[in-house]
A and B are shown apart, each in its own frame.
Chain A
């Protein structure tokens, strides 16, 4: 049911733009106004979410650790598993962000015949996630050929590598295949296993289906139902230089692609996709485990009223002296 709702959601979006551009001729609305508004929502939304996170105090020092903390000099400590200082944290974060290290450590428990409990590593989610995210990034970077003029060298370089096998015309990009495979895996993973299906929400399916729709519309546009690329780039360039002009006859598929991307931009800050920013702001990852060396103060602790011995001595000075007790100050 949840899958059906998400699928209906994505199909409704496609229907909206198909009717809007195909029937009602609202090229300017779908080509300029909605993408620009979507970009604004994306920007404001991301700032809002990040500032909101940054305003939340971290009361306890809670880095997850899975290695020896730095202690006595003759005990070997694990810098990556249990970072002590800034560089350890930076290295650990970099591995997490670029290589999804914590997913790599994923384990799985199974009840085998016997019955016998078996533990083992499982790397499929790590592989699928890595494949998806890197393909997405490379595809996004490739799109810079439509965003800027002249086309920067790194785009040409990526295209050469991505189209290394020179299959067909236009040359097939390997990342297009990879992202489809990865999305299929990530989607069917949620359906095949009853446990994962049970914990999956509409938001999980919707994000996957929306991105799949974007990918499929892009692939159709490149290989099958071609659009006027020159006109498409003119439109995109004109938006990026703040003089939007909509050229004639780009092709409906382009508007579907653009509208779905706009929907993704709007959906992004208010959904689980904000893990893009969240990964940087996870206290379990971005804190160093140096609480033995530096005290972590809970930022919401109220100022504690203390009455020091000196103040006490001043207060009862005469009584103490009268009783013949020793005073610190004399």
Chain B
């Protein structure tokens, strides 16, 4: 093999970078971390089924924003037939009053920084 020094350094560098998630997770010690979100409400059912809310709550909230802000339409007919007021602070945060233990857990887990709080006041937490 010619230029073996350079070749080996190059390969080591490449695989060091490729395998960086392994080193990073080893160093942080959070390789088996799972966000454990806390639901603090006596309500049994959210405005939409849980699997839908888990993957697509941002669609719902975003469409609520458009309907309320642009069309002044405030009433949401949920899949159970119950009527809700389309409101982040009035409806969502009424049940999920614990932003740091509910919203932020998953959002920071996948590196999302939703712009809800650009306009909305971050609710005061405390029991």
Contacts and interface: CB of A to CB of B under 8 A. Distances in A.
Nearest to B37: A230
B121 interface: no
B56 to A, nearest CB: 5
A57 interface: yes
Interface in A101-154: 144-152
Contacts, number: 103
A228 B109 CA distance: 13
A156 B109 CA distance: 12
B111 A151 contact: yes
A321 B2 CA distance: 49
B26 A241 contact: yes
Given A170-B58, A230-B54, A240 B31 contact: yes
Nearest to A238: B32
B15 to A, nearest CB: 7
Contacts of A243: 31-32
Given A151-B111, A155-B111, A166-B115, A230 B25 contact: no
B25 A149 contact: yes
A55 B1 contact: yes
A195 B108 CA distance: 51
Given A47-B11, A57-B2, A229-B110, A144 B21 contact: yes
Interface residues of B, number: 40
Interface of B: 1-4, 7, 10-11, 14-15, 18, 20-22, 24-26, 28, 30-35, 51, 54-56, 58-59, 61-62, 106, 108-115
Of the four ranges (under 10, 10 to 19, 20 to 34, 35 or more), the interface on chain A belongs to 35 or more
Interface in A140-178: 144-152, 155-156, 159-160, 166, 168-171
B21 A249 contact: no
A146 B24 CA distance: 12
A155 B3 CA distance: 35
Given A148-B25, A238-B31, A238-B32, A230 B109 contact: yes
A227 B32 contact: no
A306 B11 CA distance: 40
Contacts of B3: 54
Contact of A145 (B1, B35, B111): B111
Nearest to A226: B55
11 contacts: A58-B2, A149-B28, A151-B110, A152-B24, A169-B58, A233-B110, A237-B25, A240-B21, A240-B22, A241-B32, A277-B14
A228 B114 CA distance: 17
Nearest to A152: B24
Interface in A244-298: 249, 251, 277, 280
A150 B28 contact: yes
A46 B7 contact: no
A299 B1 CA distance: 11
B21 A148 contact: yes
A104 B118 CA distance: 43
Contact of A237 (B14, B32, B112): B32
Contacts of A9: none
Contacts of A226: 55-56, 59
A150 B62 contact: no
Closest 4 CB pairs of A and B: A241-B31, A145-B111, A151-B111, A147-B21
Contacts of A227: 55
A114 to B, nearest CB: 51
B70 to A, nearest CB: 15
Contact of A50 (B11, B25, B113): B11
Contacts of B1: 51, 54-55
Nearest to A241: B31
A149 B11 contact: no
Nearest to A243: B32
A280 B13 CA distance: 13
A233 B33 CA distance: 10
A46 B11 CA distance: 9
B25 A241 contact: yes
A305 to B, nearest CB: 25
A139 B31 CA distance: 22
Contacts of B24: 147-148, 152
